[in-house]
Amino acid sequence: MKIPRFLLTAGASGSGKTLITCGILQALKNRGMKAASFKCGPDYIDPMFHTKVLGTKSRNLDTFFCNRETVRYLLKENAQDCDIAVMEGVMGYYDGVGGTTVQASAYELARETETPAVLIVNCKGMSLSVVPYIQGFAEFREDSRICGVILNQLSPMLYGRLKKLIEEHLDIAVLGYVPKAEEFAIESRHLGLILPDEVRDFQEKLNRFAQILEETLDLDRLLEIAAKAPEIEEKELSFHRDSKGFCEEHPVKIGVAMDEAFCFIYEDNLKLLRTMGAKIVPFSPLHEKRLPEGLSGMLLYGGYPELFGKELEDNREMREEIRGKIQGGMPVMAECGGFMYLHETFENMDRENCEGVGIIRGRAYRTPRLSRFGYIEVTKKEGSVFGQEIGSCPAHEFHYFDSTNCGTDFHAQKPKSSRGWDCIHSTDSIVAGFPHFYYYGNPRLAEAFVKKCREYAER
């Protein structure tokens, strides 16, 4: 399958990747092109900005969660019927697991998917030094795949001279510059960027920014680079699942919390659940008083319950119904913010205690710094998960909150490190803890959950 594609990367976080990616996506959309977008790594917020631009769900591609075959399959599946695929990198181009490897880096994603990379260089405080800076990134790995650069925060007066110098010294295309554009900057908070719906006049600002990029970037040359990406071979992943006909005829309804408080959702997780026979039914613990009818399972993903603590507490009807369903044996998976919501109490951003669902004994509380941040491999210490042996699962943690009762049924191990800890509450019908799961990393977890939901429905 021929997929024109490129990856936008940088030397470090804070270099303008997300804003420039969104601006380019908008410019391509304005040209009438249909783009698929992807974020490298376990990020929830940046894909929301891509989705806001395109009106279609952005996806994640992560080489820690998935092997080469799966990553290429997901790229192919999610770029079908699109004119181009645009990937946004994570952190610095070579920054990977453990701080000393390229595993799960943007470079590894470019390498595994054979995607041309474009380096965004934040030129603030630099002029001639950008030449050796770019050279270092391009030559650090023989197969760096860096084919072009975009010079960010650069004066148009200096651009022509710098472009000439770079192209004289390096075999890399200079694809234009981005002038200082403070009015378009995206604000941040404790878990990263604010959400796109919180940016005032986001669409209007983005259109203005895209018009600037049409003038300052050589988008035609960028598209030529994308068109040189090699084909992705056609392969189907061989996951064990119920027969397709049975799943379509007898779907099992799984409620997924989706609102401002619970919004950290991998779209491919939902896609895999549907493939396995789930009918996804959204509901809002913030705005709705009752669960949807006929549910056989619940998913409470992460997000910002701490920003809506009192509103979640005030919705007593929803909390009581969720508690009753779980106590009655309805299968549930809850992670991070969803796990906090299941506690007896959880703190909001002002450190005020708010009543939760009451399934997890104890209190979730705010801490001054990130707790247990990064990739992990989690393994059930004893017994099965939802009645099945699933083996270990790749996962990810990223939170400023902790709990007096994190659970001890799984063990989490940091890759490239001796550090590990116990985590997660696991019973015959519950898996709840701080780790986030990406189901394509171990589809047996999703399969066991859907099977347990089907058993609950049949009872």
What pLDDT does residue 434 have?
97
336, 354, 423, 453: the catalytic one is: 336
Structure tokens at 348: 């909001």
The pLDDT value recorded for residue 53 is 80
Per-residue pLDDT for the chain (459 aa), expressed as one digit of tens each?
A: 899 999 999 999 888 898 899 999 999 999 999 999 999 999 888 888 888 787 888 999 999 999 999 999 999 999 999 999 999 999 999 999 988 999 999 999 999 999 999 999 999 999 999 999 999 999 999 999 999 999 999 999 999 999 999 999 999 999 999 998 766 555 544 444 556 666 667 778 889 999 999 999 999 999 999 999 999 987 777 664 444 444 666 789 999 999 999 999 999 999 999 999 999 999 999 999 999 999 999 999 999 999 999 999 999 999 999 999 999 999 999 999 999 999 999 999 999 999 999 999 999 999 988 778 899 999 999 999 999 999 999 999 988 899 999 999 999 999 989 999 999 999 999 999 999 999 999 999 999 999 999 999 998
**Is 247 designated active site?**
no
Q: What is the pLDDT at residue 181?
A: 73
pLDDT at 241: 46
Q: What pLDDT is recorded for position 189? A: 43
Residues 6+ apart with CB under 8 A from 439: 266, 268, 269, 272, 273, 445, 446
Give the pTM. 0.92
